[in-house]
Amino acid sequence: MSFHTIFEPFRIHSVEPLRMTTRDERRSAVRAAGFNLFALRSEDVLVDLLTDSGTGAMSRDQWAGIQRGDESYAGSPSWFRFLESVQVLFPFKHIIPTHQGRAAEKILFTAIAGPGKAIPNNTHFDTTRANVEFTGAEAVDLVIAEGLDPALEHPFKGNMDVLRLDEFLRTRGAPAVPAVFVTITNNSGGGQPVSLANLHEVREVCDRYGVPLFLDACRFAENAWFIREREPGQHDRDVADIVREMASLADGMTMSAKKDGLANIGGWLAMNDDDLAARCRSLLILTEGFPTYGGLAGRDLEAIAQGLREVVDHDYLRYRIRSTAYLGEALARRGVPVVQPIGGHAVYLDARGLLPHVPPLHYPGQSLAVALYEVGGIRGCEIGTVMFGRKPDGSEEPAAMDLVRLAIPRRTYTQSHIDYVIEVCADVAAHAGDLPGYRIIEEPPALRHFTARFEPDDGSHSPD
Ligand SMILES: Cc1ncc(COP(=O)(O)O)c(C=O)c1O
């Protein structure tokens, strides 16, 4: 294309109003929420970048699918349409529908993990880690060293360190490792992709030790697009074809359809192993439902079936990846420090870099996130010491990084919304030196970021 404007390959068919708020209203709302953005009413948010999970807009054809949903308990035509759509991309023998990704994880790890076992992954997403650890097994992250350096440019920062994986399997022994996982794209590592070459190498290591390979495939289409764009020899391929090659290297997968299923709810678990599938289906019936609907309504299965057809469209993926990069590049140009390179679904602001006067134990990420909300009604998510700082023994330590994630819901915001986000971030960054640190005045024993209450150190916003 000879033009540079990012062209949204859709036009708007139905609109949702955004309620405009004043800075004073937002200041009172965030104070009432204990300076925790999870406690806001979403109607008080102008641009909601808290997560890209289940927050995207569905297409006309997905809404038509919703109407067509058949709610028969067993063997519904909606199930068969879902099954066909999944298997076109992921031709695993057994497809087990679930209400979202973590339900697939819960079932799989209940079946294969347990005390004394370990699951290596490039980087476990937090629910994946929690589901592994809940069984008594160990969750081990083996991403390449480059993946841990926020400023370093590397085309595939989500790659698994295959030498460390080999060493891990050799020392632990295959019986203690029921599966190796690769997360595509690597969400907890900044939405960074994994190359096809790396997946082939991981497969070879798994074969050497006789250990199955599973994909945590939530953002598989974004990962495949990065492969097409960045990996030598892949540029002329159809994304669907790249996805099938990724699937052919694995023995199974877990999936949250709330991301690259382009749906608001849903997921699945897939595998080739008949025995494992039988055990997982028994667990599915206990908590999710009959194997032809899992935890979903027939209409949800239809929305996912259609979403999977749309997500591998090249025009969509070009727009998706380009528009995320547009936000990141514009912020970097304005001197706002961001994790490089820009990932597929989110831009990560380096709050520690921007607020050097706020020590990590005074939560620079929280301070920046609150300021973005107060100044412009933008809701991001602190990913730093608030989220990871409290240790199981009760002590508190700075996290490796203090970031604010701006996750972009799919097909939801226009370029003018994103231009507005850029303006607000630049304004907040220009006054970053004035932002206060925070202290926690109330926190639960675990996962404190969801419900903790805060107070600014400088008393500037003390509760009335
Ligand atoms: C990489 C990854 N795995 C698993 C999950 C869990 O999926 P869900 O939120 O549908 O349970 C997520 C959700 O954000 C994710 O990003």
Integer Cα distance of 65 and 61 in angstroms = 6
Residue 335, class by beta-carbon neighbours within 10 Å (0-12 exposed, 13-18 middle, 19+ buried)? exposed
For ligand 1, say whether the CB of 128 is within 6 Å of any of its atoms. yes
Q: DSSP secondary structure string, 439-455?
A: EEEE--SS-GGGT-EEE
Best mutation site among 100, 107, 127 for ligand 1 pocket (most ligand atoms within 8 Å of CB): 127
For ligand 1, say whether the CB of 183 is within 6 Å of any of its atoms. yes
- For ligand 1, the distance from its centroid to the CA atom of residue 386, given in whole angstroms, is 20
- The H-assigned helical ranges of 210-271 are 220-230, 239-248
Q: Which residue type, as a one-letter code, is found at position 187?
A: N
Nearest CA to ligand 1 atom 14: 53
Which of 373, 348, 363 lies closest to 443 in space, CA to CA?
363
Peptide bond into 77 cis (omega under 30): no
Edge-to-edge, what's the strand order for the sheet holding 180-183? 94-98, 267-271, 252-256, 213-216, 180-183
For ligand 1, say whether the CB of 223 is within 6 Å of any of its atoms. no
Nearest CA to ligand 1 atom 9: 101
The kind and range of the H/E element at 27 are helix 23-32
**Pairing state between β 138-141 and 118-121:** parallel
Integer Cα distance of 9 and 313 in angstroms = 10
For ligand 1, say whether the CB of 218 is within 6 Å of any of its atoms. yes
For ligand 1, say whether the CB of 100 is within 6 Å of any of its atoms. yes
Residue 151 is classified by DSSP as T
What is the full per-residue pLDDT of the chain (464 aa) written as tens digits?
578 899 999 999 999 999 999 999 999 999 999 999 999 999 999 999 999 999 999 999 999 999 999 999 999 999 999 999 999 999 999 999 999 999 999 999 999 999 999 999 999 998 899 899 999 999 999 999 999 887 889 999 999 999 999 999 999 999 999 999 999 999 887 889 999 999 999 999 999 999 999 999 999 999 999 999 999 999 999 999 999 999 999 999 999 999 999 999 999 999 999 999 999 999 999 999 999 999 999 999 999 999 999 999 999 999 999 999 999 999 999 999 999 899 999 999 999 999 999 999 999 999 999 999 999 999 999 999 999 898 878 899 999 889 999 999 999 999 999 999 999 999 999 999 999 999 999 999 878 999 999 999 986 654 34
